[in-house]
Structure 1
């Protein structure tokens, strides 16, 4: 009888869990083994007080890591039952996983798991090839499978409305010196296990760009390499906006991202309209959806790139000390 997860199982699954995305690649998670269960927590030492004062971004990131953790355990034949935010007295613990009945992984789990190592944010311009209808359907179904929704914006009017909200939010954020300084502190010009490498920042913004770009120290773009004039824009949302809803939205986000990767698509995230409360409400009203927008995305076909670095998994684990 399986009475709990082992340290070896946690370590193996955490290697995949830490491949999740996070704001500025801060990697705000910790994993521990406790009473036979795996607990995933927000690491308060890796906060972004200017960019993410409410902790929304950290909870989204931990939700994404949780989805990877679930996949890794399932593919290993040891699926888990998950309880979100199990301890009211300790809100930093976002999830507790305990062993479920052992079973073989499903084909979907195997495909999504295989995409973990290939997924990365692509901030460069995409090719003009349209995303086919079947791939769009798969993305929407991925969000729905995690009890969230994905609105794929159809038509120039809808995309322009989103772009206007995003640019307005971007201007608000860029007027905050603390926000600008915090972002600059996470740009890496030398190899580092966290933060955003300057080479991964994408081309510098230009006046003709439809969607805002974060200033990650990107390079000048080559002639004729403007961003696509009619991007596929998607908005991920949840039914509510509690801390639990945000963790659930992080799981849905990662499922959408891995589904996109499995379909050969590239994605860059556009979180500015979510970070500014007035912009988020304007976005919700423009969509006419019940619930709360949790992330914007630009989706298309792009040139292959490389994933951003991650800290050694041992730095994010808390394992019981085994007596000598």
Structure 2
């Protein structure tokens, strides 16, 4: 039986999963609505980060991750979606439109990734020294490739140190910007808040000069002086072919598939956006990797103490009323099969 349109009930159910996507400072910059039988995902203009994300790259990446979660939820319900990225040339805030595809049961991989959604969270604590097995590394690389992106695993002390120096340099640049620092502090939340970064989710209140990778100051507890945060992390860089808005949305979908693949494999992960936020550092990172494409996120991956997801807003507050009628604009953009 063909499904011609999604229902409000299907949207509400799927949004519960969609909002578990990651976002800069847990700002949750997305909105959802039904329109002409499809589901639209839009950037929320009220949740922009003018100092941290002035060009909107982070919001598009986050909304792309939400699109991937939405795809998983619909597939798990037996009503998979066809996806068009940036469907309306005259409305760039709509990052994607999902319309019903041929109904089918979810694949085993879709079931596994869907089950991982509520368990995925950014783990900012130090990881254990246990190495990530080769099979798990291969699965992470394949997860990015499945979404039209790439994942470069940074192997060896020299390359890791080079990436770490770029990240530390970018962190210092950002830390010198008073507006940036103020915006970071403004999104630190008490434990009962529905957005922002809870202080309990922070790694430590500050890094040390000999730490390999930089840590943001989210008000966590101090650690013992002289103790390395993490001496030998697995570092990975997620990238895309280009850097258009559509590329960034696609990279967001790939990022979420990689993170859920890591969660399904029992791995922990966190993201370092500092080398992406500073244009000069981003170009240095691209040159250091020596590959074609544009870096979109730096990840650290490993085994660690289980934590808990950061809070999310009530799904009902991110769903807009459905609209009637058909848009007159031609629908363009990249199609992504579920």
TM-score (norm 1): 0.97
Instruction: After TM superposition, list the pairs within 5 Å mapping 1:99-178 onto structure 2.
Output: 99-178=100-179
How far residue 190 of structure 1 moved from its aligned partner, in angstroms, is 4.3
Local SS of the residue matching 1:318:
coil
Match of 1:30 in 2: 31
How many pairs were matched up?
A: 322
What displacement does 1:96 show? 0.2
Contact map agreement 2:150 2:240 (CA 8 A) in 1: yes
Query: Within 2, Cα distance between the matches of 1:162 and 1:68?
Result: 29
C-alpha contact 2:204 2:218 (8 A) present in aligned 1: no
Structure 2 residue aligned with 1:210, among 209, 212, 218?
212
Q: Is 2:23–2:29's contact at 8 Å kept on the other side of the alignment? A: yes
**Is residue 248 of structure 1 aligned with residue 241 of structure 2?**
no
Q: How far did residue 63 of structure 1 move?
A: 0.3
Contact preservation (8 Å) 1:125, 1:225: no
Secondary structure in 1 matching 2:4: coil
Alignment-derived partner of residue 65 in structure 1: 66
| 1:269 shift after superposition | 0.4
Change (3 A) 1:60 1:216: same
Asked whether the equivalents of residues 31 and 40 of structure 1 are also in contact (C-alpha less than 8 Å), the reply is yes
Q: CA RMSD in A?
A: 1.3
Which aligned pairs between 1:2-21 and structure 2 lie closer than 5 A?
2-21=3-22
Gaps of 5+ in 2: 325-338
In the other structure, the counterpart of 1:91 is 92
Runs of 4+ residues deviating >6 angstroms: none
- The answer to whether the Cα contact below 8 Å between 2:34 and 2:323 also exists between their aligned partners in 1 is no
8 Å Cα contact 1:7-1:319 kept in structure 2: no
TM superposition shift of 1:224: 8.4
- Write the distance in 1 (CA, Å) between the matches of 2:279 and 2:208: 26
The residue that corresponds to 1:277 in the other structure is 279
* Alignment counterpart, residue 264 of structure 2, candidates 250, 262, 265: 262
Q: Against the structure 1 CA distance between its residues 222 and 111, is the aligned structure 2 distance closer, same or farther, given a 3 Å change threshold?
A: farther
SS of corresponding position for 1:234: strand
Where 2:5 maps in the other structure, the secondary structure is: coil
Q: Does 1:318 align with 2:320?
A: yes
Deviation (angstroms), 1:191: 1.5
Q: Shift of the alpha carbon at 1:135?
A: 0.2
User: By how many angstroms is 1:218 displaced?
Assistant: 1.2
Q: Could you tell me which residue of structure 1 aligns to residue 297 of structure 2?
A: 295
Task: Find the residue that maps to 1:143 and give its secondary structure.
Answer: helix
- For 2:222, which of 216, 220, 223 is the aligned residue? 220
